[in-house]
């Protein structure tokens, strides 16, 4: 009886390993069709006044890029995190609006994007948190400091806000944040923006649970960029970057863990997420997280359109005023 049982077990193990190997090798993402609403709006952006890149040194010795927007006697600072595939240039109009309102701004090229390391890659999950700590220690933006993240950058800001490093920022402002593919806010494929190589993603997740991380450099996500944008932006994410530039898997616990003052802005016409669902999702937070739907703004429009920029400044001012109230007590 033992020999047939062992033979069956061997077949199961070999089949499982074979399926993992095939998924890792052939289960990667294909490029989705170009998404006009994510590409075209940036064609009309005036980039005059875009600051040159500055750099700071991460703990691994890599120089990482950011753009500094200075203002005399700032009433606080914003650290900006761009969306998936993008870089600091995409935050230029937002940065200018914040400067006009009296806030100093630092727009990051998050590692794996723009001028910060190899595009689409980080060395390990958690490296982006280490980079953010290194940035804050070296650059020391004027207080109070708000971490402002858009889309995937908003998801990463949520990761920080609900995690062990939350106190390095005074507040958080999440702009149409990616919460989870399992959250009710999520449209399938982010409305056409994302193709996930699900077989490879699942296989790598299983291997990581087994302590095998040698294949985490492989791409698992592809974005709906135009051919021109693919040349300058980041068309694909490795497993490590895709896992790091988002909240932790248990997004409900992450939201419950928010302790610093936090607000959420979402375009009422967002085509990548379901805007109305954000209210209930962030209702899980133990401290109140206001959610504002900006009429007339779609996903990318949340960073470019004047009504959205007005809502951004209003939210930043409310967060600043909270600090003023606390300092008077």
How many C-alpha atoms does 22 have within 13 Å on its Cβ side? 6
Pairing of strands 171-175, 53-57: unpaired
Say yes or no to pLDDT of 224 above 60.
yes
Residue-wise pLDDT for 240-282, tens only, equals 999 999 999 999 999 999 999 999 999 999 999 999 999 999 9
217 domain-assigned: no
What gap in Å lies between CA 102 and CA 252, rounded to an integer? 34
33 domain-assigned: no
Q: What's the domain count of the chain?
A: 1
Q: Which of 150, 177, 12, 29 is nearest to 81 (CA)?
A: 150
Helix (H) or strand (E) holding 78: strand 77-81
Say yes or no to pLDDT of 292 above 80.
yes
**What domain range is 149 assigned to?**
45-186+245-324
Per-residue pLDDT at 144: 97
Sign of the alpha-carbon torsion through 234, 239, 240, 246: positive
What gap in Å lies between CA 177 and CA 303, rounded to an integer? 12
Q: Cis peptide before 136, with omega less than 30 degrees from 0?
A: no
Say yes or no to pLDDT of 320 above 70.
yes
Per-residue pLDDT at 25: 84
pLDDT: which is higher, 62 or 20: 62
SS3 content of the chain, % helix, strand, coil (to 5): 45, 20, 40
Q: Is 194 helix (H, G, I), strand (E, B) or coil?
A: strand
3 domain-assigned: no
Per-residue pLDDT at 301: 98
Give, in order, the Cα–Cα distances in Å from 35 to each of 131, 192, 195.
Answer: 30, 7, 12
127: domain CATH number is 3.40.50.1820
291 domain-assigned: yes
Q: What percent of the chain has pLDDT over 90?
A: 90
204 domain-assigned: no
Task: Tell me the pTM.
Answer: 0.94
Per-residue pLDDT at 19: 81
31 domain-assigned: no
Per-residue pLDDT at 26: 83
Question: 207 with 20: CB under 8 angstroms?
Answer: yes
203 domain-assigned: no
* Helix segments in 140-276, DSSP class H: 152-161, 198-209, 227-232, 239-244, 251-256
């Amino acid at each position: 009886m033992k020999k047939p049982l062992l033979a069956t077990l061997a077949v199961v193990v070999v089949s499982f390993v074979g399926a993992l190997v095939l998924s890792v090798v052939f289960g990667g993402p294909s490029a989705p069709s170009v998404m006009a609403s994510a590409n075209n709006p940036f064609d009309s952006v005036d980039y005059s006044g875009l600051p040159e890149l500055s750099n700071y040194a991460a703990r691994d010795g890599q120089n990482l890029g950011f753009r500094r927007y200075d203002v005399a006697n700032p009433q606080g600072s914003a650290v900006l995190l761009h969306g998936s595939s993008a870089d600091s240039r995409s935050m230029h109009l937002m940065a200018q609006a914040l400067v006009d309102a009296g806030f100093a701004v630092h727009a990051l090229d998050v590692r794996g994007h723009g001028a910060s390391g190899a595009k689409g890659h980080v060395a390990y999950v958690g490296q982006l948190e280490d980079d953010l700590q290194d940035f804050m220690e070296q650059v020391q933006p004027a207080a109070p400091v708000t971490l402002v993240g858009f889309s995937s950058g908003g998801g990463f800001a949520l990761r920080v806000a609900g995690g062990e490093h939350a106190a390095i920022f005074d507040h958080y402002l999440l702009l149409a944040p990616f919460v989870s593919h399992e959250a009710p806010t999520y449209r399938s494929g982010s409305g056409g923006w994302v193709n996930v190589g699900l077989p490879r993603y699942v296989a790598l997740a299983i291997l990581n649970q087994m302590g095998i991380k040698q294949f985490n450099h492989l791409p698992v996500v592809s974005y709906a960029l135009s051919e021109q944008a693919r040349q300058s932006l980041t068309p694909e994410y490795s497993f490590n970057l895709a896992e790091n530039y988002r909240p932790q898997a248990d997004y409900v616990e992450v939201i419950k863990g928010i302790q610093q003052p936090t607000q959420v802005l979402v375009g009422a016409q967002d085509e990548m997420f379901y805007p109305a669902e954000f209210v209930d999702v962030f209702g899980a937070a133990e401290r109140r997280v206001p959610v504002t739907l900006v009429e007339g703004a779609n996903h990318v429009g949340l960073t470019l359109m004047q009504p959205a920029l007005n809502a951004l400044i209003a939210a930043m001012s409310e967060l600043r005023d909270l600090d003023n109230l606390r300092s008077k007590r």
